[in-house]
A = this chain, B = another copy of it.
Amino acid sequence: MKKNILAEIITVGDELLYGQVIDTNSAWMGEELGKIGIRIKQITSISDQREAICEALSAAIERADVVLMTGGLGPTKDDLTKHTLAEYFKTELQLHQPSLDDVEAIFKRYNRPMLEVNRQQAFLPATCTPIRNVLGTAPGMLFQEQDTLICSMPGVPFEMKRMMTDTVLPLLQSHFQLPKIVHKVVQTIGIGESFLAEAIADWENNLPPNLKLAYLPHLAGVRLRLTGVPTAEENLEPLMQAQIEQLSLLIQPYIFAYGEVTLEEAIGQLLKKQNLTIATAESCTGGLVAHKLTSVPGSSAYFMGSVVAYSNDVKTAQLGVKSETLAQHGAVSEETVKQMAEGVRTLLKTDIGVATSGIAGPDGGTPEKPVGTIWIAYSDAHQTLARKINYNKTRLLNIEYTTLQVLNLIRQSLPPTVDQ
């Protein structure tokens, strides 16, 4: 049994080279392969050209145990991957009846006439093992050369992902007899990577040798991923669960979820569980907090609405912010943002109101309140509180960062649930 399985990814398509399409497939495949313990050596993007495909493929086969290719399997003339692979592996195209049945079924479902070019998609290299595509008309293909597996998949992201999940990843796990690696994810927000590392250093240093921790930072927090490799003696699941519980005690205030959950999903679950409703009053975030909350399916159960109050008139007339407050403290102030949060809660009759007011830039800053000066507030029946943020990157990053901070403020300020 070989220890370190190496993979390479080859993405085919002129659109990738000329920047019309950003290659997101490789990152997704890299992460999924990493999860089953396969290391990526190289990612190569090349043109839809016979020589380019052959050259990249032959170099990758030399270096890697697995080569995953995407792209170039469409029905049009510029899609050359399938013909090139047949030539490379010295074989002929032949009709693969189950693939033809699948293609015909797709056209029947959409009630569209099937053209000869679509029928051609069911012709596959004779020596390949076809991989079923349940979401599109281009089947995948699996080849083997010496000890290397080569797998060609469509470039359409959702077709490729389904094929990987259903067929390719399980196949790689069994072919290479990979250990059944287990991952546990802890989602944090509000603490930087280096502070987090310091807070959990002792715990991390004392991890058993078969458990490893990865720090995956993003705009306002860090995803922690604990990866366990099974050993003969131990049952991995309880071992990892115990470690996660120890970790949780160290950084409890920063954890918003376990597993692959977004912050807005986590908040939605908390609000649903406590049967609470929410509304937002947004100035500088311009509706992005509302958009995030409503991007969660079923959010209409707790999200009632929002007032985006860009002008001071809307702040006073709709949200009831006092003119004296605006005159004395300005729109970007603790006093104003608190009145906005209270105002929207009253106006839309919700349990919770949150608010934002700040200078997102690039213009509008003053010496006392430079660009990046932002106030956020939370209000419920028991309390109204505000927090100041200083953050000045680009206008869009300032807005996105503030939105994450508001979501985090909701999470931190909600009354505790009974079962926590």
Chain A interface residues (CB < 8 Å from chain B): 16-24, 26-32, 34, 39-47, 52, 56, 59, 216, 280, 282, 285-291, 293-295, 297-300, 303-311, 313-314, 318, 347-349, 361-364, 395-396, 399
Contact = CB atoms under 8 A, between A and B. Distances in A.
Nearest to A29: B19
13 contacts: A18-B31, A18-B34, A19-B31, A20-B31, A21-B27, A22-B22, A23-B26, A43-B45, A44-B44, A282-B290, A287-B289, A287-B290, A318-B348
Contacts of A34: 18-19
Contacts of A300: 310-311, 364
Given A42-B52, A43-B45, A287-B290, 13 more contacts: A17-B43, A19-B32, A42-B47, A42-B56, A286-B290, A287-B306, A290-B290, A290-B308, A294-B308, A304-B311, A304-B313, A305-B311, A318-B318
Given A297-B362, A395-B295, A314 B318 contact: no
A57 B162 CA distance: 34
Identify whether the interface residues of A are mostly helix, strand, loop, or mixed: mixed
A291 B294 contact: no
A344 to B, nearest CB: 10
A348 B312 CA distance: 11
Contacts of A28: 19
Nearest first, the 3 closest Cβ-Cβ pairs linking A and B are A286-B294, A19-B31, A287-B287
B286 A291 contact: yes
Contacts of A361: 297
A31 B17 CA distance: 8
Contacts of A30: 16-19
A45 B26 contact: yes
A14 to B, nearest CB: 9
Given A43-B17, A52-B42, A318 B305 contact: yes
Q: Copy number of this protein in the oligomer?
A: 2
A363 B348 CA distance: 24
In the complex, which of the residues A29, A282, A313, A361 has the most CB atoms of chain B within 10 Å of its own CB atom? A282
A40 B27 CA distance: 21
Contact of A349 (B24, B294, B295, B313): B313
Contacts of A40: 17-18, 47
Given A41-B47, A45-B26, A348 B216 contact: no
Contacts of A27: 16, 19-23
A295 B31 contact: no
Contacts of A306: 287, 306-308, 310
Nearest to A311: B304
Contacts of A282: 287, 290
A17 B46 CA distance: 17
B43 A16 contact: yes
A311 B347 CA distance: 13
Given A287-B294, A295-B399, A42 B45 contact: yes
Contact of A307 (B16, B45, B307): B307
A289 B16 CA distance: 30
Nearest to A302: B310
Contacts of A19: 26-32, 34
Contact of A304 (B23, B56, B295, B310): B310
Contacts of A308: 280, 287, 290, 294, 305-308
A318 B349 CA distance: 11
Nearest to A306: B308
B294 A303 contact: no
